[in-house]
Amino acid sequence: MMGKVTLRNLAAHKIRLVLTAVAVILGVAFVAGTLIFTDTMNRQFDDLFDDIGKNVAVDVRAQKVVDADDDGAAARPVPASVLEKVKAVPGVKNPVGNVNGYAAVVGRDGKLIGGGQGPPQLGTSWTPGSGTYDMKSGRAPNGPAEVALDTGTAEKGRFAVGDTVKIVTAGPPQRMRVVGLIDIGNMMGATVTAFDTPTAQRLLLKPGYFSDIEMGTTGPGEAELRDRVAKVLPAGMEAVTGEKLREESKSDVAEFMGFFRTFLLVFALISIFVGAFIIFNTFSMLVAQRTRELALLRAIGAGRPQVTRAVIGEAVAVGFVGSTFGLAAGAGLAALLQSQMGDASLVFTATPVVSSYAIGILVTVASAYFPARRAAKIPPVAAMRDDVALPQRSLRIRVALGGLLVLIGAALVGVGLGGGGGNPVALVGVGAFLVFIGIAMLAPVISVPVVRVLSAPFAKVLGTPGRLAQQNALRNPRRTAATAAALMIGLALITVVNVMGASMRTSIESQVDKQFGADYLIQPDGGGGIGEEVAKKVAGTPGVDDATPMFAGDAKINGRKASYIAGSAATIKSAAKLEVKSGTATLGRDGMMVDEDSAKKQKWTVGSNVPVQFTDGRTQILKVTGIYAKSDIIGPRVIPESVYRAHTARPEVDVVIVNAASTDAATKTAIESTLKDYPNLKVSDQAALKKDARKQVDAFVSFLTILLVMSVIIAAVGVVNTLALSVIERTREIGLLRAIGISRRQLRRMIRVESIVIAVFGAVLGMGIGVAFGAAVQQSLKDDGLSELAVPYGTLVAYLLVAAVIGVLAALWPAWRAGRMDVLKAISSE
Amino acid sequence: MTNTAPPTADAHPAPGAGDFAARAHQVAKVYGHGDAQVVALDGVTVGIPRGRFTAIMGPSGSGKSTLMHCMAGLDSVDSGQVFIGDTQVTGLKDKHLTRLRRDKVGFVFQAFNLVPTLTALENITLPMDIAGRKPDRQWLDQVIDTVGLRPRLKHRPTELSGGQQQRVACARALASRPEIIFADEPTGNLDSRSGAEVLGFLRDSVRRMGQTIVMVTHDPTAAAYADQVLFLTDGQIVDTMTEPTAERVLERMKGFELPGVGAR
């Protein structure tokens, strides 16, 4: 057995082991952290829903018409009369009508507690004795001016029982007295406000209506009770068991969590992919350095499979150790995230453990497989000769294979971006993966001219150390290329994200310029709607010509979900600079305007009658009155406000479009002062809309960049690894250089320059690919709003500098080591 | 006295002949192409007698190392046949070649003889470990005592002197009782005293244990330890000497009209 040789090698080269394992640890930590964190979140939500719904045997609610996500304004309410009917059903215990909606608390600084875009801000009815939550102090709200707050919100706003708070709902702001504090458990920072039922109905829903009716059972099973209750319900209402209700809530969260998990895992896998390059490179170097030892083993009778197994054995050990630490680091990461959410207990399932080890070991072994195969090909006679080189496959084959992979990959990306194939996202992913591997295979050939150019200035300025660095970087193009390729991947993806971001910004700005015809837009900042009174108040503001509300909703056309905008045709036409292609920009009582695309798809012309089913379940026939050119701001359809109101239980204004005599600062200030009681509303002019869009895009770009930074860190570890191993490999040479008079400083400089050149080469490759990918993605989304291509040259130059800095940092330790080498020992070393 | 009789090896050994531990028949090996072509072996036919200590001598470039590599199955031949015992080495697939080296051949190299991460004892038993066999404890003890390494068994190669390292290598070659041991300049890197120790030890293992050893060397003093010396020049066996002494070998070497003759 060669296990002993394997183990001893690992023990003898701990630093190599650690450096290789770091690549595994970081990648696995990312995977394990994601899995543990999402598992924990899932479990917490499951517990929460179990707890909230534990006393509910049957729930009565409106049937969902348009889709299962109907919520908020679109959800139809349950008339109070249903509660009386349900009360009479035998077996029903304590039926309670609930009212839920948007309500936020204004803090002492005049801003919303919990911000505009953040955790949910929920208002609910409080029915003593049946609540989901427990009253912690004070008493239940009673009457139109009383509210109970959750303890977390009260703490954030420094409110106590007896204080007066301002509550914002989709209506006029309310001043209310805090009478109680409720414990909502761990709801991730959500705000909950509770009112008595009539107040909740008035503020959140509609007097005489409930969001749903919950009930317990006096004995019958949930299904039995559901059937009994269903018999007394009017059309359009449904009864579901408590179990189904809990499962629905859970599966909603599970679905979201699943998406979130997949999203994070994609980035984790990118890190692992980068790590694979590092592992491949390290094992290649280890095998090269151990040629004589492996040949000796072959000479004294080790078979090829035994040598392969010995190297693979090392990979298994590195993978195992890396996975173990990675798992631990992942758990730590998840705990850190959890503690940010206020609860540090983690849920451990088998999945993260099994996946961590499976991924860590598999990736390490797969990456070490080719080096291990090469190790087995070392001829035994190499044990006795100095000049036996490892058999290397010709670069020509590599170039051909690499080129082929790039072509196939690019083709797959092209097909995927074009929306072809069964799963475009997977196609693009696999295609990009192949392109990366292909470019990595081509990289040794590309590296020679590029590295020569990159290192030329160093060679000129620094003299001999610079020239030596250049030669070192060129000496083994495969190694330089593999190291750079790892960095390439991260930077390519970061470049794609940045190109996309810049293109999005430019596209949105040009859309605002071209399509936004109004002077101001008032919209909610985050959740909730706009009260009906807002438009009237703003219209009365000095300097304002008109303020028109616009509504938005979902309906069903031909069995498919169809979103619409509702409002005045004239206002919408001028506000969105609609270009009417045929018909007129009028709606009348039952008209509908549609854009060219949907008209073409549905074969509608002006005068076509279209049956539209609304969220109340009723279908109305609307006549196409006008067809307009595609508008990113308005979307595909516009219907009359009256039709929207007729089918919507609680109409909510989506935005208010304001036109003013002059768009100077004074007008904006005047509108803002009109709205000072509405901290949830935001007034935007063109510049502000652009700024908002820019901010959102920037946040998105930074978020993705941060997720990709992990892969860059792993690649940086790879540079350290390569340099450290090169230094060991060149011990004699370095000793010789020192012996003939090169100073430590010059030596360190030499290694640093090599490192910078490798890192910058990787960055240049990555950015090239990134810009190409970014442009391809932009082209494919040209008709979906991403009309302009923008390459953020400034940012890319900054990343190039970052790559150089990574090079400098990566060289620190290897250079220090090389400088510290004992000259005599170095020369005489084997 | 130079033995001018045809070398033993010239009598074409018939396959299956029991008195040779290894044989080469018309072995040729050429390196490189065109102008850079070097004929390393030019139809060598030689037999290594069983239970004897044979030295192969020749000036550098004479092909002596190549001959040994080919006979040991470490390197391929261009034409001709090589046998170890009754097994034809030439034409064997890597798997069988590996097994042959493992079970029937021992090696002692000039340098880089030991796996640096293993202790002396582990290095000695490594071929058996690779084969998955248990070493013969008694035999192992005898070998260890003969090379005098008992107090140093737990040491790593870097903690041993060059002579000690080479003795570990000899012990490793002997421990699995191979049919034949090939030694490639085993004293090339040693001072004369350590070299003498190693050579004496190799000779003893032939005399006392009946081991067959082939040694490539260009040192007449080393060759004098052997039972017979084969002289190789230009890829051909040109002479054989039995009962050699350093003086006679040196004298014979001087006869080769080649640059570098009698080096050292």
The string of DSSP letters for A581-602 reads: EEE-S--TTTEEEEEHHHHHHH
**Between residues A70 and A570, which one has the greater pLDDT?**
A570
**Residue B228 is assigned to a structural domain of this protein:** yes
pLDDT at residue A386, rounded to an integer: 58
Three-state secondary-structure class, residue A118: coil
Q: Is B18 on the interface with A (CB under 8 A)?
A: no
User: Residue A826: pLDDT above 90?
Assistant: no
**Residue B114 is assigned to a structural domain of this protein:** yes
Please list, in sequence order, all residues whose beta carbon lies within 8 angstroms of the beta carbon of residue B149, skipping any fewer than 6 positions away: B120, B164, B167, B168, B171
Q: Is B29 on the interface with A (CB under 8 A)?
A: no
pLDDT at residue A54, rounded to an integer: 77
Distance of alpha carbon A718 from the chain centroid? 26
On whether the CB atoms of residues A121 and A165 are closer than 8 A, the answer is no
The arithmetic mean of pLDDT across residues A125-131, rounded, is 77
- Please give, rounded to a whole number of angstroms, the shortest distance from the CA of B29 to a CA of chain A: 15
Query: Crossing angle, helix A424-462 and helix A464-475, to 10 degrees?
Result: 150
Residue ranges making up the domain that contains B167:
51-73+92-254
CB spacing of A8 vs B117 below 8 angstroms: yes
Q: Which residues of B touch A9 (CB under 8 A)?
A: 117
Element at A179 (helix H, strand E): strand A174-183
User: Residue A137: pLDDT above 60?
Assistant: yes
Give which of A300, A304, A825 to mutate to test B binding, by max B Cβ within 10 Å: A300
**Between residues A227 and A344, which one has the greater pLDDT?**
A227
Residue A544: closest CA among A654, A670, A676: A670
Give which of B97, B112, B217 to mutate to test A binding, by max A Cβ within 10 Å: B112
pLDDT at residue A343, rounded to an integer: 62
Task: Give the position of tokens 């969220």.
Answer: A615
| pLDDT tens, position by position, A255-289 | 888 888 888 898 898 889 888 888 888 888 888 88
- For the ranges A55-59, A619-623, B5-9, B206-210, the lowest mean pLDDT is seen at B5-9
User: Residue A341: pLDDT above 70?
Assistant: no
For residue A748, give both structure tokens. Answer: 């360190």
- Please give, rounded to a whole number of angstroms, the shortest distance from the CA of A16 to a CA of chain B: 15
- Tell me whether strands A591-595 and A619-628 are parallel, antiparallel or unpaired: parallel
Q: Which residues of B touch A830 (CB under 8 A)?
A: 111-112
Q: Is A290 on the interface with B (CB under 8 A)?
A: no
On whether the CB atoms of residues A572 and A634 are closer than 8 A, the answer is yes
> How far apart are alpha carbons A708 and A146 in whole angstroms?
49
Cα dihedral sign, B81-B82-B83-B88? negative
Give which of B65, B93, B98 to mutate to test A binding, by max A Cβ within 10 Å: B98
Q: Is A391 on the interface with B (CB under 8 A)?
A: no
Q: Is B36 on the interface with A (CB under 8 A)?
A: no
pLDDT at residue A802, rounded to an integer: 92
Considering CB atoms only, which of A11, A300, A381 is closest to B127?
Answer: A300
**For residue B183, what is the nearest residue in chain A, using CA coordinates?**
A384
**What percentage of chain B's residues is helix, strand, coil (to nearest 5)?**
40, 25, 40
On whether the CB atoms of residues B246 and B258 are closer than 8 A, the answer is no
**In degrees to the nearest 10, what's the CA dihedral of A606, A610, A613, A618?**
110
**In degrees to the nearest 10, what's the CA dihedral of B218, B222, B226, B231?**
20
**Residue B174 is assigned to a structural domain of this protein:** yes
User: Residue B16: pLDDT above 50?
Assistant: no
Residue A473: closest CA among A732, A768, A719: A719
| Number of CB atoms found within 10 A of residue A88's CB | 9
The arithmetic mean of pLDDT across residues A355-360, rounded, is 92
Q: Is B184 on the interface with A (CB under 8 A)?
A: yes
**In degrees to the nearest 10, what's the CA dihedral of B196, B199, B204, B205?**
150
CB spacing of B117 vs A9 below 8 angstroms: yes
Task: Give the position of tokens 């390292």.
Answer: B165
**Between residues A826 and B162, which one has the greater pLDDT?**
B162
Element at A656 (helix H, strand E): strand A655-660
Q: Is A629 on the interface with B (CB under 8 A)?
A: no
Q: Is B103 on the interface with A (CB under 8 A)?
A: yes
CB spacing of B112 vs A292 below 8 angstroms: yes
**Residue B133 is assigned to a structural domain of this protein:** yes
Query: Crossing angle, helix A744-780 and helix A395-417, to 10 degrees?
Result: 40
Proportion of chain B above pLDDT 90, given as a percent: 12
For residue A212, give both structure tokens. Answer: 């749903």
pLDDT at residue B1, rounded to an integer: 38
Residue A656 pairs with which residues in a beta bridge?
A: A522, A549
The arithmetic mean of pLDDT across residues A361-370, rounded, is 92
**Residue B2 is assigned to a structural domain of this protein:** no
User: Residue A385: pLDDT above 70?
Assistant: no
**Residue B79 is assigned to a structural domain of this protein:** no
The pLDDT confidence band at residue A417, using thresholds 50, 70 and 90, is confident
For residue B220, give both structure tokens. Answer: 């007449």
The arithmetic mean of pLDDT across residues B157-183, rounded, is 88
User: Residue A490: pLDDT above 80?
Assistant: yes
User: Residue A338: pLDDT above 90?
Assistant: no
**Residue B147 is assigned to a structural domain of this protein:** yes
Q: Which residues of A touch B112 (CB under 8 A)?
A: 292-293, 296, 383, 830
Task: Give the position of tokens 């629905």.
Answer: A248
Q: Which residues of A touch B131 (CB under 8 A)?
A: 301
pLDDT at residue A73, rounded to an integer: 46
> How far apart are alpha carbons A434 and A269 in whole angstroms?
15
The pLDDT confidence band at residue A381, using thresholds 50, 70 and 90, is confident
Regarding pTM above 0.90, the answer is: no
Following DSSP, what letter does each residue of B144-193 receive, concatenated?
HHHHT-GGGTT--GGGS-HHHHHHHHHHHHHHT--SEEEEESTTTTS-HH
Task: Give the position of tokens 């719904």.
Answer: A53
**For residue B100, what is the nearest residue in chain A, using CA coordinates?**
A301
CATH (domain of B175): 3.40.50.300
Q: Is A5 on the interface with B (CB under 8 A)?
A: yes
The pLDDT confidence band at residue B218, using thresholds 50, 70 and 90, is confident
Strand order in the sheet with B228-233: B105-108, B180-184, B213-217, B53-57, B228-233, B236-242
Indicate the number of domains in chain B: 1
On whether the CB atoms of residues B160 and B148 are closer than 8 A, the answer is no
Burial A71-86, CB ≥16 within 10 A → b, else e: ebbbbbbbbeebbebb
Question: How does the average pLDDT of chain B come out, rounded?
Answer: 82
Question: How does the average pLDDT of chain A come out, rounded?
Answer: 85
Give which of A291, A384, A387, A828 to mutate to test B binding, by max B Cβ within 10 Å: A384
The pLDDT confidence band at residue A4, using thresholds 50, 70 and 90, is confident
Which 8-state DSSP code applies to residue B225? Answer: T
| pLDDT tens, position by position, A149-170 | 988 888 888 998 989 999 988 7
Which range among A734-743, B32-41, B44-53 has the greatest average pLDDT?
Answer: B44-53
A57 to A91, A127, A507: CA distances (angstroms): 10, 17, 51
- Please give, rounded to a whole number of angstroms, the shortest distance from the CA of A261 to a CA of chain B: 44
**Residue B69 is assigned to a structural domain of this protein:** yes
> How far apart are alpha carbons A792 and A794 in whole angstroms?
6
| Number of CB atoms found within 10 A of residue B116's CB | 15
